[in-house]
Amino acid sequence: MTVNGWVQIFVFLALIFAVTKPLGIFMARVFAGERTFLDPVLRPVERVIYRVTGVDDKHEMRWTEYATAMLLFSAVSMLVLYLIERIQYWLPFNPQHFAGVTPEHLAFNTAASFTTNTNWQAYAGENTMSYLTQMAGLAFHNFTSAATGIVLAIAFIRGIARRQMQTLGNFWVDFTRCCLWVLLPFCVVGALFLVSQGVVENLHPYDTVKLVEPQQVQRVGADGKPVVDAAGKPVMDTVTTQTIAQGPVASQEVIKEFGTNGGGFFNANSAHPFENPSPLTHLFEMFCISPSAGD
């Protein structure tokens, strides 16, 4: 281990320890309904959400009602994601004209795993999912599945602390406050930081560029196997262009990590330079994972 390596470890741990207590205190105040520095901006938004959705923020739920609300929300949002995947060809923000995701093994698996925060990425994002599916489907579930996990932990803690009470709080209130006060502010600031460091964030179609040096690659058949000629020699093709995938990456990158989710915009995930272009973004993205994992 080099001196530089030890310094990096020390800096990383110092950042984690520095935010642990302030973040914990802030979250405790949020879920207790106490005043925070974000209240002047977010309280009016919270009230509008309750008014539009018909939520009574004073209503306390027993564990059965709390669990039922969580399960119903998860089931409906999972079906919506599945539908978006299946009909993405006819939806906007699909400049590459990707077809709908196949139903049996991929669309359903993706919808189920993103709803449950397991986020199994059994696909290459840059050639499977449209921008709308990435934003309104996968990134949305990165927020909601993380928020659901957090509020269930809060409800569990309340169940231990409120031994003489029959209620655990209100799922819709906890969920709204988690998204508004905890996840969204950090992700907005984090996404802007990543954009400033070179992470891609746009809605442009993919670009095609000419290679300075054409490359020889072995041809692959429809069955996915390398093609060979009658003599058993590999059949080679000359590649003269490269497709540069892009899209709304930064906005998905932060919540993917801060919510301990998965499903990177690109198949290579955060090893892709458009998701993680520099040592500074690498440090920041590791930092995003660690506090949320500790929560």
Which stretches of the chain are assigned E, i.e. beta strand? 207-218, 236-244
Q: Confirm if 50 and 75 have CB atoms less than 8 A apart.
A: no
20-63 tens-digit pLDDT: 899 999 999 999 999 999 999 999 999 999 999 999 999 999 99
Counting Cα atoms < 13 Å in the Cβ hemisphere of 205 gives: 8
Query: Is pLDDT of 295 > 80?
Result: no
Q: What is the pLDDT of residue 291?
A: 56
Collapsed DSSP state (helix, strand, coil) of residue 263: coil
% residues pLDDT > 70 (the chain): 98
- CA–CA gap between residue 182 and residue 242 (Å, rounded): 40
Collapsed DSSP state (helix, strand, coil) of residue 237: strand
Q: Residue 178 carries which DSSP code?
A: I
Q: What is the pLDDT of residue 209?
A: 92
> Strand 207-218 and strand 236-244: pairing?
antiparallel
Measured on CA atoms in the order 215, 219, 220, 225, is the torsion positive or negative?
negative
- CA–CA gap between residue 92 and residue 132 (Å, rounded): 7
pLDDT band at 119 (very low <50, low <70, confident <90, very high): confident
Q: What is the pLDDT of residue 30?
A: 95
Averaged pLDDT, 258-273? 88
Q: Is the model more confident about 221 or about 213?
A: 213
Query: Is pLDDT of 97 > 90?
Result: yes
Long-range Cβ contacts of 215-218 (<8 Å, 24+ apart)? 215/239
Nearest C-alpha neighbor of 118 from the set 153, 139, 147, 142: 142
Q: What is the pLDDT of residue 293?
A: 45
- CA–CA gap between residue 141 and residue 116 (Å, rounded): 9
pLDDT band at 137 (very low <50, low <70, confident <90, very high): very high
Q: Confirm if 226 and 236 have CB atoms less than 8 A apart.
A: no
Q: How far apart are the first and last CA of the chain?
A: 30
181-205 tens-digit pLDDT: 999 999 999 999 999 999 999 999 9
Query: Is pLDDT of 294 > 50?
Result: no
Structure tokens at 277: 């272009």
